[in-house]
Amino acid sequence: MPDWTRSFPDADHRWVMALRPVEEAKDFFAQQDASGAMLAERARWLVEDVEKYAALRSEAEAAVMETRQIAKAWGQPSEGGDGEDASPMQSLLALGHAWEPDLVWMHPDAQGTYRLAGGVACFPSSWALREKLGRTMQEVHSPVPGLNAELGRQIDTFLQRMTPGAVWQRENWSLSRDGELNHHPSHHRARLDATITLPEMWLRLEHQLLMKLPVSGSVLFGIRIEVVPLGELMKDVEATARLARLVATMSEEAAAYKGLAAARGALVEMLRGDC
């Protein structure tokens, strides 16, 4: 099970970076699903609509090729795109098929501001890759109420000061009424409301990794999705209490952004054992 303390601080809700340094990125990208179901689903989405789930600007081409060489050095499985004449897009798709986490590359513009320059996002959490392409981090985060005011400059400064080869991780969480991996906004999903029941509630964790690529200067952003039945979390008394506190204390705007506004009262009662 996940380390819940990383996802749920023992505090009232606020937006936090909560980054921690790690020694290397290899284990994050190594295959963890022995059944192969996650990779099979990634392949299905990439075949069904590659333009929806993969995109690449010229600024990120060098970063993609550098990442492909890193993957080869790690000895991780290949899905093609290894040849000397492979294009950056072919290499991007090879990574998208071979790795379970989603991948995003951020590259600094002439002013040193990082912009989203490419990626493979088969399991997005209610965002569309092509809508974010070319945007700065503050523009990417603009739908999150209050985040830029609290952390916008801090995020920009962190990216600009990352040292080559440095690797950092953090967690993010949300709640949903299904255990699907792909939450692209074009997909219909049941909304959370006051009628929620425990068996239909899922915790959606984003294990996030940032690595400064030493050659291209881009930042590789990995997003590994993990879905856990809420009932499993509730076996941990401390984690349940922390989540209840976060949900109860978040602003109305934050609750609406996370899709919890109509369900918040019922959810807090559920977590506190009042229902």
Note the pLDDT of residue 78. Answer: 62
* Res. 242 pLDDT band, cuts 50 70 90: very high
Domain residue limits at 209: 4-188+204-229
* Res. 252 pLDDT band, cuts 50 70 90: very high
pLDDT at 55 over 60: yes
The reply to whether 266 falls in a domain is: no
Note the pLDDT of residue 260. Answer: 98
Note the pLDDT of residue 5. Answer: 87
- 24, with CB counted inside 10 A (0-12, 13-18, 19+), is exposed
CA–CA separation, 17 and 255 (whole Å): 18
Note the pLDDT of residue 222. Answer: 99
The reply to whether 122 falls in a domain is: yes
* Res. 85 pLDDT band, cuts 50 70 90: confident
Instruction: Using DSSP, state whether 207 is helix, strand or coil.
Output: strand
CA–CA separation, 158 and 58 (whole Å): 24
The reply to whether 181 falls in a domain is: yes
* Res. 247 pLDDT band, cuts 50 70 90: very high
The reply to whether 244 falls in a domain is: no
pLDDT at 1 over 90: no
The reply to whether 249 falls in a domain is: no
Read off the pLDDT of residues 214-232 as tens digits, 9 standing for 90 and up.
999 999 999 999 999 999 9
Could you give the percent of the chain with pLDDT greater than 90? 92
The reply to whether 236 falls in a domain is: no
Note the pLDDT of residue 275. Answer: 53
Output the average pLDDT for the chain: 95
CA–CA separation, 74 and 76 (whole Å): 5
* Res. 132 pLDDT band, cuts 50 70 90: very high
pLDDT at 259 over 90: yes
Read off the pLDDT of residues 152-195 as tens digits, 9 standing for 90 and up.
999 999 999 999 999 999 999 999 999 999 999 999 999 999 99
The reply to whether 10 falls in a domain is: yes
Note the pLDDT of residue 83. Answer: 63
The reply to whether 248 falls in a domain is: no
Total number of domains in the chain:
1
Note the pLDDT of residue 54. Answer: 99
Given a contact cutoff of 8 angstroms between Cβ atoms, the answer to whether 196 and 177 are in contact is: yes
